[in-house]
Amino acid sequence: MATFDLTDRRVLLTGASSGIGRELALVLAAHGTRLVLTARRADRLDAVAGEIARRGHPRPATVTADLAQRGAASELAGRAQAALGTIDVLVNNAGGGVGGSQWSVGDHDAAREAFEINYWSPLALTRALVPGMRERRDGAVVNVTSMAQISTWPGFGAYAATKAALGVATETLRLELSGSPIHVLEAIPGPVDTAVQGETRLVPGIDRMLDRIPLGDAKEMARRIVTALERRRATVIYPRRAALAYLLPALARADSRRLAARVAGDMDAAALEGVLSLVVRTGSHGDPAARQAREAWEEAHGRA
């Protein structure tokens, strides 16, 4: 099958202000694409667009949008098409979440917001943009999910469920486009050195699981996603050692159960109950504790 040439492709990239999204913007620009970048933080978006321009590439269009709000994705699709005419490549990278036990989070508003940004917004953008790709018989969809869909942790159930849902939706989309020239790629990050690590490590004991795989580099993750897109691969998993859990999910889940039991046994019962009773919005616009943890990680690691 022919490679997917990115030169002059018109790309909508969500979650472009930091982490993997920021690095994706830089790599895609270097490959000659024309970009619409979107995120919730206008100042960060402007900084990324400015850096791309300073590197000698066309300055991307930027659209500030909060994809945790119902209807924002459909509006974003219209604004992106107004900026570039049509969209050849949709990259659903934006993400957010909620931490807390299943009985604390339940159907809390924070959980519904997590599903909105991680699942419903990608589907809304798919609904808005894939029909045009089908008419033109050309295009690509990249959905960034997570290894959390394979192996979760206490307090991460809602977030993991959003990513599992998007993973299934991605595979279904691929099946529905069988025989079509439109390419579908699922990018599956394991632990990668971004600000997400700050808030993730607020959860007691999770470092025992995460530290088994050395942290990946966001620049390398972005490079691998773009390479996989060009080569029309179905999935890209990084760090590579995380692929073992993807291939053997039953073993990965059994290992998580053993680790979680050890952590629970090591903790004071009152402390454990206090942790599990919390409901914490995560992400760049999350609750103060999550934002503080993200900012501290960024400062300590020199990440944007």
- pLDDT at residue 106 is higher than 80: yes
Q: Which band of pLDDT confidence, cut at 50, 70 and 90, is reported for residue 5? A: very high
Q: Which band of pLDDT confidence, cut at 50, 70 and 90, is reported for residue 202? A: low
User: Which residues are paired to 63 by β-bridges?
Assistant: 38
The predicted structure's pLDDT at residue 149: 94
Kindly report, residue by residue over 86-99, the tens digit of the pLDDT.
999 999 999 998 88
- pLDDT at residue 244 is higher than 80: yes
The predicted structure's pLDDT at residue 302: 64
Name the fold adopted by 10-301. Rossmann fold (3.40.50)
| Nearest one of 97, 110, 92 to 39, comparing CA atoms | 92
Task: Give the β-pairing of 97-99 and 280-282.
Answer: antiparallel
- pLDDT at residue 270 is higher than 70: no
| Nearest one of 97, 193, 192, 84 to 153, comparing CA atoms | 97
The predicted structure's pLDDT at residue 93: 97
Q: Among 117-121, 228-232, 248-252, where is mean pLDDT lowest? A: 248-252
The predicted structure's pLDDT at residue 209: 64
Q: Among 19-28, 187-196, 227-236, 281-290, where is mean pLDDT lowest? A: 281-290
Q: Which band of pLDDT confidence, cut at 50, 70 and 90, is reported for residue 140? A: very high
CA 14/CA 60 separation, integer angstroms: 13
Higher pLDDT, 272 or 65: 65
Q: Where are the domains of the chain?
A: 10-301
Q: Which of 119, 159, 238, 246 is catalytic?
A: 159
The predicted structure's pLDDT at residue 295: 73
- pLDDT at residue 79 is higher than 90: yes
Q: Which band of pLDDT confidence, cut at 50, 70 and 90, is reported for residue 33? A: very high
Percent of the chain with pLDDT over 90: 66
The predicted structure's pLDDT at residue 125: 98
* Residue 238 known to be catalytic: no
